[in-house]
Chain A
Amino acid sequence: MHTLRIFQSEWLKTRRSLASWLVIIGGLFTPVIIFLIRIRRPHELPPIYQSPNFWQTVWNQSWESMAMFMFPMGIIMATGLITQLEFKNNAWKQLHTTPQRLTTIYGMKLFIVLVMLTQVFIAFNVFMYLFSVLPVALVRDVRYPTAHLDWLLFLRGNFSYFIDCLPIVGLQFLLGMHFKNFLVPFGLGFLLWIASLTGMTWEYNYILPYSYSMQDFLVNTGRKIPVNADIHVFAAIYFVVFVAVGYGMYIGKNEKG
């Protein structure tokens, strides 16, 4: 019960925050853009909607921008904003004088970030579906897709991308908890994302912690990049290492607010 109350307390801090708006925007942005592009040429839609690969096409189109840009940058920003809530409001000192173990404070903040990431995934999938079928209601002659919607395949795909994002969460959380200035985690995150993008064709690309969602997308859509290791294993290891180092730095801080 106590853990639940602490979760509720932390969750309340995200209400009306920029991070909570990012969840909605992050989930909505790509499906809306794809929808707007589609309805600009309504006459081309009927055959597309009757294609046997309709859902696979929607999935790939939607994930292209998400995997390459929106998710990495969204996580960099949202994680920074969550950790900044305490710095910005000068609230670390008050939080650290509440009867909670430091492990609880650290763990709960990380959990909040992961819950928000899950929210983005859910919002993105729901909006992807809704904006895909919206033309059925708006455009004449467009019928509901006949292609089979393989929910299980999409679920597995989501899980895979979720794992890919974990190293970004881990490192951004570490930086966000450590640096008071928002620009430091944001700037470093942005540089690492650029480095990952640049190193995509490198034979050791699997060591680049911010590259996994991009690699996953490129491999799934048949692009040729070197695949020399299981990136999900690397992603999980990076996440654990970043979280553990971040925890050590947090606990070892001499000044707590």
Chain B
Amino acid sequence: MYAIETHDLTYRFPRGLGSSLVPRFDSSAPPVLNNVSLRVPEGSIYGFLGPNGAGKTTTLRLILGLLKKQHGSISILGKHFPEERISVLREIGSLIESPSLYGHLTAQENLIIYQKIFDAPQKRIREVLDLVGLSNTGTKKASEFSLGMKQRLGLAVALINQPRLLILDEPTNGLDPNGIIEMRELLKQLQREQGITILISSHLLSEIEKLVTHIGIINSGSIAFQGTLEELMNKREQGANIVLETSDKEATMRVLEQMHIRATAEHQSVVLPFVHRDTIANIARNLVQSNIALYGIERRNDDLETIFMNVIK
């Protein structure tokens, strides 16, 4: 079952003020989102990736009802959205872009605001404060918090109702490396211990590759890739190369040609597509038999960032 399933979400920003009584839409303008069909499996940590301006935030805002849906359908936790808006929102926690905190109130007071609305037990405030490591902030106002503390308090707000689904839009923005690791560990812990489905957006694959189980890549308003992290890794395997460093590039190329392996010569080496390890052993044997000195055999993988760039090209 999918925690979130969208079908053909298409969205155009209204012309002029987005807040007029009857928003006018420019049908000739290219859509910000174009038939986005997102499938977030229940219990997964789904990384929603894309460069800045690709449509990540717009998609998340549509899913949360912060933008009016124009075309397509949204189903969250098996319920239609926005038709069953209230019951869906009861089970969601969200942190969209910068945290929404009342600067003149303390961390505890900020949480009481949402604890009241969600009718969560009083003790939940202490629990989430402990969870995000803000239990000792006392009477300090939220406006005096560091960016990392604000981000953690934003996460505490998102968790106050013990959600089944957590939607986080670039939650590590502005965090230092240590803060990013802390946030990552916290999210892993939530998914592991409480089985919460997490949809997390980012524009940096390296930032979330250690966290997610599934990945969706969006570019220019369209989904360019969607699948498990394993599937993305397989793409990496497919894109891998073998690099040979030998004493004679031309002779090496000839040997490989005889073996029906297509290769290309680079500065100091010869590059061929990834082959089975038995073939690698054969190549080494043939090179030595042809009196070519073999200095090194190296497997070169595209890193995930390169694959990501290839997907969005």
How far is it, in angstroms, between the C-alpha of A100 and the C-alpha of B119 when the chains are bound?
12
Which of A91, A98, A100 has most chain B Cβ within 10 Å? A98
A86 to chain B, nearest CB (A): 8
Residues of B within 8 A of A140 (CB): none
Taking the complex as formed, is B131 at the interface, i.e. its CB lies under 8 A from any CB of chain A?
Answer: no
Output the nearest chain B residue to A180 by Cβ-Cβ distance: B19
Kindly provide the distance from the CB of A145 to the nearest chain B CB, expressed in whole angstroms.
41
Tell me, yes or no, whether B265 is within 8 Å of chain A by CB: no
- Would you give the 0/1 interface string for A226-257, flagging 1 where the beta carbon is closer than 8 Å to chain B? 00000000000000000000001100111111
| B64 on interface, CB distance cutoff 8 Å | yes
A254: which of B68, B89, B113 is its contact (CB, 8 Å)?
Answer: B68
**Other-chain residue from B68, B92, B116, B157 in contact with A9 (beta carbon distance below 8 A):** B116
Range of interface residues on B (Cβ < 8 Å): 35 or more
CB distance from B115 to the nearest CB of A (A): 8
Instruction: Give the chain B neighbours of A224 by CB distance below 8 A.
Output: none
A253 surroundings in chain B (CB, below 8 A): 18-19
Find chain B residues with CB under 8 A from A5 CB. Answer: 116-117, 119
Contacting residues, chain B, for A94 (C-beta < 8 A): 94, 96, 100, 114, 157
Task: Give the Cβ gap from B161 to chain A, nearest Cβ, in Å.
Answer: 8
Chain A residues whose C-beta falls within 8 Å of the C-beta of B61 in the assembled complex:
93, 255
A220 at the interface (CB under 8 A from B): no
Q: A5-B117, A91-B100, A254-B23 are in contact. Are A97 and B18 (CB under 8 A)?
A: no
Q: A11-19, A122-130, A146-154, A187-195: which one contacts chain B? A: A11-19
Choose from A85, A92, A98, A255 the contact partner of B114 (Cβ within 8 Å): A98
What chain B residues lie within 8 Å of A254 (beta carbons)? 14, 18-20, 23, 67-68
Kindly list chain A residues whose C-beta atoms are within 8 Å of the C-beta of B87. 99
**Residue in chain B with minimal CB distance to A88:** B103
CB distance from B104 to the nearest CB of A (A): 5
- Binary per-residue interface labels of chain B (96-124) against chain A in the complex, 1 for a CB within 8 Å, 0 otherwise: 11101111110001001110111100000
How far apart sit A146 and B58, CA to CA, in the bound complex (Å)?
A: 70
Is B1 part of the contact surface with A, judged by Cβ < 8 Å? Answer: no
Which residues of chain B have C-beta atoms less than 8 A from A248's C-beta? Answer: 21
Whether a CB of chain A sits under 8 angstroms from the CB of B66 is: yes
A–B complex contacts, Cβ < 8 Å, 11 sampled: A2-B119, A8-B116, A12-B109, A15-B109, A85-B102, A94-B114, A94-B157, A95-B100, A97-B92, A98-B118, A257-B100
Chain A interfacial positions (CB closer than 8 Å to B) = 2, 5-6, 8-9, 12-13, 15-17, 85, 88-101, 178, 248-249, 252-257
Q: B interface vs A, CB < 8 Å?
A: 14, 18-23, 61, 64-68, 85-87, 89-90, 92, 94, 96-98, 100-105, 109, 112-114, 116-119, 157
Question: Nearest 5 CB-CB pairs, A to B?
Answer: A94-B100, A9-B116, A91-B100, A99-B89, A99-B90
